[in-house]
Structure 1
Amino acid sequence: MRRKVREQRARVVAALDRLRQQIGLALGSARNAREAAELELAKLELERLVVKAGMERALDDPEVARRSSEPTMVDVLEWLNSVRGQFYAEWADGPSRLRDLVAVAAPGPAGRPPGEWLGRVGTGDGVKVPRLWRIGSSTVDGSVAGRTPGTALTFDVAVPLLDESHLAITSAPKTRPTVDALVETLLMRVLSSFEPGAVKIHLWDVGRLTAVLPNFYSLSRTSALTVHDPTRLVDLLEELSGHVRRIHARTLQAGYPSLRAMREATGNRTEPWRVAVLYGNGEDLQPERLRELKRVASGALEAGISLILVDVPTVLGGAVETVSLLDERRAISSMTGTDLVVDLDPPLPAGQVATASARIADALVAKQGGPRSFADLLPSEFGQQHSAHELRAPVGFHEGEPVEVVIGDATPHALIGGPSGSGKTNFLYVLLAGLTSRYSPDELALYLLDFKEGVSFAGLAPGKKDESWLPHARLVGVNVNTDREFGLALLRFLSDEMRSRSAAAKEHEVTNIAELREQDPRGHWPRIVAVIDEFQYLFAERDTVTALATSLLEDLARRGRSQGIHLILASQDIAGIEAFWGKPAVFEQCTLRIAMPKARRVLAETNQAAVAAPRWHAVVNHESGVAHGNQLAHVPDASGRGVFPALQRQLWQRYAGHGRPRLFDGAHAPTLEESAAFAAAAPTERPRALIGQAIEVADRAHGVELPAAPGRNIAVLGTSTREALSILDSATRSLARQHHPGEVEFVLSCPVEACLPTVDRLADTLRSEGHKVRSVATDDLPATITSLAEELPDRNLPRYVVLYGVDAALPALERKEPGTQSPLEALRSLLKQGPGHRTHVLGWWRAVARLKDTLGFAGTDDIGAWAALDVQGNELAPFCAGQLVQWSPRPGRALFFDRTAHGSPEVAIPFRMPEAEDE
Structure 2
Amino acid sequence: MGGLVGSASWYFDRAVALHREAAAHTEAARAEIVGAPSRLVLPPERVEAYRRLAERLTRGALDLVPGWLGWPLDGSTASLKVGVDVRPGGVNFVLAGVTVLAEKFTAPVVVPLLGGGHVTVDADARRPEVAAWLRGVLLRLVAAVPDGALRVLTVDGGTLGAVFAPFRQLVEAELWRPPVTDVAGLHAVLDEAEAQIAVAQSGGGHHLPYLLITSGALPTGCGQVELARLAAIAHAGPAARVHLLLAGYPPPPGAGQQTPARLDFTTALTTIADGFAMSEPPGPERLSTRGSGFATAVRLSAGPVDGLIETVCGPLASAAWVSSSVDFAALLPAEIWSHSSASGLRTTVGRDGRAWCELALDDSTPHWLVGGRTGSGKTVFLLDVLYGLASRYSPDELALYLLDFKEGVSFADFTPTPIDGTWIPHARTVGIESDREYGLAVLRELAKEMGRRAMELKKAGVTRLADLRTSRPDLAMPRIVAVIDEFHVLFSGNDRIAGHAAAVLEELARKGRSYGIHLILASQTIAGVEALFTKGESIFGQFPLRVALAGGGGVLDKLNRNADNLPVGSAVINTAAGVAGANRIVRFPNNDPALITAHRHRLWHARTPGSPPPAVFAGYAEHHIDSDPAYLALNPQVRRPHALVGRAVDVGLPSAGFTLDTSPGRHIAVLGPSPIGADIVHAGAVSVARQHPPGTVTFVIACLVASADAAADATAAAIHAVDQPVELVDAAGLQTRLGHLAAAIDSATAPPTYLVVFGADAASALLAAKDLTTFRSGHDDLRTVLRVGPTRGIHLLAWWRGARRFIDDIGGSSNLEDVACLIALNIASNDLNNLTGDYKTEWHHRPNRALLIDRHDDRYQLIVPFVRPGAYEHQHH
TM over 0.5: yes
Structure of higher CA gyration radius: 1
Whether 1:569 aligns to 2:529 is no
Q: Distance in 1 between matches of 2:399 and 2:229?
A: 45
Shift of 1:500: 2.9
2:36 maps to which residue?
Answer: none
Counterpart amino acid of 1:705?
T
1:500 maps to which residue?
Answer: 452
Q: Distance in 2 between matches of 1:348 and 1:869?
A: 82
Shift of 1:553: 3.1
Shift of 1:911: 0.5
Q: Distance in 2 between matches of 1:122 and 1:897?
A: 74
Q: Does the CA contact (< 8 Å) of 2:269 and 2:278 recur in 1? A: no
Shift of 1:685: 0.9
State percent identity of aligned pairs.
34
Q: Distance in 2 between matches of 1:491 and 1:247?
A: 41
Q: Distance in 2 between matches of 1:915 and 1:192?
A: 69
Shift of 1:663: 1.8
Q: Does the CA contact (< 8 Å) of 2:457 and 2:463 recur in 1? A: yes
Q: Distance in 2 between matches of 1:758 and 1:339?
A: 103
TM-score by length of 2: 0.74
Whether 1:537 aligns to 2:496 is no
Within the candidate set 824, 829, 838, 1:873 is matched to 829
Q: Distance in 2 between matches of 1:856 and 1:546?
A: 37
Whether 1:293 aligns to 2:230 is yes
1:699 maps to which residue?
Answer: 653
1:761 maps to which residue?
Answer: 714
Q: Distance in 1 between matches of 2:84 and 2:493?
A: 61
Q: Distance in 1 between matches of 2:291 and 2:307?
A: 33
Whether 1:666 aligns to 2:619 is yes
2:673 maps to which residue?
Answer: 719
Q: Does the CA contact (< 8 Å) of 1:693 and 1:700 recur in 2? A: yes
Whether 1:273 aligns to 2:210 is yes
Shift of 1:757: 4.6
Q: Distance in 2 between matches of 1:714 and 1:706?
A: 9
CA change 1:507–1:182 in 2 (3 A) is: farther
Q: Distance in 1 between matches of 2:129 and 2:346?
A: 49
Within the candidate set 596, 612, 623, 2:565 is matched to 612
Shift of 1:572: 3.3
Shift of 1:437: 2.8
Per-residue CA distance 1:7-61 (angstroms, 9 max, x = gap): xxxxxxxxxxxxxxxxxxxxxxxxxxxxxxxxxxxxxxxxxxxxxx99x99xx99
1:907 maps to which residue?
Answer: 862
Q: Does the CA contact (< 8 Å) of 2:193 and 2:211 recur in 1? A: no
Q: Distance in 1 between matches of 2:776 and 2:227?
A: 100
Counterpart amino acid of 1:891?
P
Of the structure 1 ranges 464-473 and 790-799, higher mean CA displacement relative to structure 2 is found in: 790-799
Whether 1:245 aligns to 2:195 is yes
Q: Distance in 2 between matches of 1:408 and 1:402?
A: 19
CA change 1:856–1:647 in 2 (3 A) is: same
1:14 maps to which residue?
Answer: none
Alignment of 1:447-486 (within 5 A): 447-480=401-434, 483-486=435-438
CA change 1:190–1:809 in 2 (3 A) is: closer
Shift of 1:671: 0.7
Q: Distance in 1 between matches of 2:176 and 2:589?
A: 25
Shift of 1:696: 0.9
CA change 1:135–1:423 in 2 (3 A) is: closer
1:199 maps to which residue?
Answer: 150
SS of match in other structure, 1:747: strand
Q: Distance in 1 between matches of 2:442 and 2:238?
A: 48
Whether 1:258 aligns to 2:204 is yes
Within the candidate set 675, 684, 687, 1:734 is matched to 687
Counterpart amino acid of 2:502?
T
Alignment of 1:620-659 (within 5 A): 620-638=573-591, 642-655=594-607, 657=609, 658-659=611-612
CA change 1:525–1:302 in 2 (3 A) is: farther
SS of match in other structure, 2:431: strand
Q: Higher helix proportion, which one?
A: 1
Per-residue CA distance 1:760-788 (angstroms, 9 max, x = gap): 43233223223344444543333322332
1:131 maps to which residue?
Answer: 90
SS of match in other structure, 2:626: helix
CA change 1:158–1:409 in 2 (3 A) is: farther
Q: Distance in 2 between matches of 1:308 and 1:869?
A: 70
Q: Does the CA contact (< 8 Å) of 2:491 and 2:498 recur in 1? A: yes
2:478 maps to which residue?
Answer: 526
Q: Does the CA contact (< 8 Å) of 1:132 and 1:159 recur in 2? A: no
SS of match in other structure, 2:576: coil
CA change 1:436–1:348 in 2 (3 A) is: farther
Alignment of 1:768-779 (within 5 A): 768-779=721-732
Whether 1:851 aligns to 2:811 is no
Whether 1:816 aligns to 2:771 is yes
SS of match in other structure, 2:647: strand
TM-score by length of 1: 0.71
Q: Does the CA contact (< 8 Å) of 2:197 and 2:237 recur in 1? A: no
SS of match in other structure, 2:732: coil
2:781 maps to which residue?
Answer: 826
Alignment of 1:195-344 (within 5 A): 195-202=146-153, 235-236=185-186, 238-245=188-195, 248=198, 257-260=203-206, 263=207, 271-276=208-213, 287-297=224-234, 299-301=236-238, 303-307=240-244, 314=261, 320=265, 334-335=283-284, 338=289
SS of match in other structure, 2:805: helix
SS of match in other structure, 1:715: strand
Counterpart amino acid of 1:197?
G
Q: Does the CA contact (< 8 Å) of 1:477 and 1:664 recur in 2? A: yes
Counterpart amino acid of 1:869?
L
CA change 1:519–1:308 in 2 (3 A) is: farther
Counterpart amino acid of 2:195?
R
2:81 maps to which residue?
Answer: 120
When the two chains are superposed, the root-mean-square deviation of aligned CA atoms in Å is 4.9
Q: Does the CA contact (< 8 Å) of 1:118 and 1:352 recur in 2? A: no
Of the structure 1 ranges 401-410 and 353-362, higher mean CA displacement relative to structure 2 is found in: 353-362
1:681 maps to which residue?
Answer: 634
Within the candidate set 775, 786, 791, 1:836 is matched to 791
Whether 1:891 aligns to 2:847 is yes
SS of match in other structure, 2:402: strand
Shift of 1:197: 1.5
Q: Does the CA contact (< 8 Å) of 2:65 and 2:110 recur in 1? A: no
CA change 1:625–1:448 in 2 (3 A) is: same
Per-residue CA distance 1:246-299 (angstroms, 9 max, x = gap): 6746x79xxx62312xx5xxxxxxx42224467999xxx954234313433455
Q: Does the CA contact (< 8 Å) of 2:569 and 2:589 recur in 1? A: yes
Q: Distance in 2 between matches of 1:844 and 1:221?
A: 66
Shift of 1:714: 1.6
Whether 1:366 aligns to 2:322 is no
1:13 maps to which residue?
Answer: none
Shift of 1:694: 0.7
Q: Distance in 2 between matches of 1:216 and 1:606?
A: 29
Shift of 1:582: 4.2
SS of match in other structure, 2:862: strand
CA change 1:900–1:330 in 2 (3 A) is: closer
2:755 maps to which residue?
Answer: 801
Counterpart amino acid of 2:721?
S
1:30 maps to which residue?
Answer: none
1:425 maps to which residue?
Answer: 379
Within the candidate set 539, 548, 557, 1:595 is matched to 548
Q: Gaps (5+ residues) in structure 1?
A: 1-52, 62-98, 137-156, 264-270
Counterpart amino acid of 1:534?
E
Q: Does the CA contact (< 8 Å) of 1:118 and 1:192 recur in 2? A: no
Within the candidate set 411, 428, 434, 2:388 is matched to 434
Q: Distance in 2 between matches of 1:568 and 1:224?
A: 30
Q: Gaps (5+ residues) in structure 2?
A: 1-12, 22-58, 96-108, 251-259
Per-residue CA distance 1:804-827 (angstroms, 9 max, x = gap): 333333444443242465443233
Shift of 1:741: 2.9
Q: Distance in 2 between matches of 1:760 and 1:280?
A: 84
Q: Distance in 1 between matches of 2:474 and 2:449?
A: 18
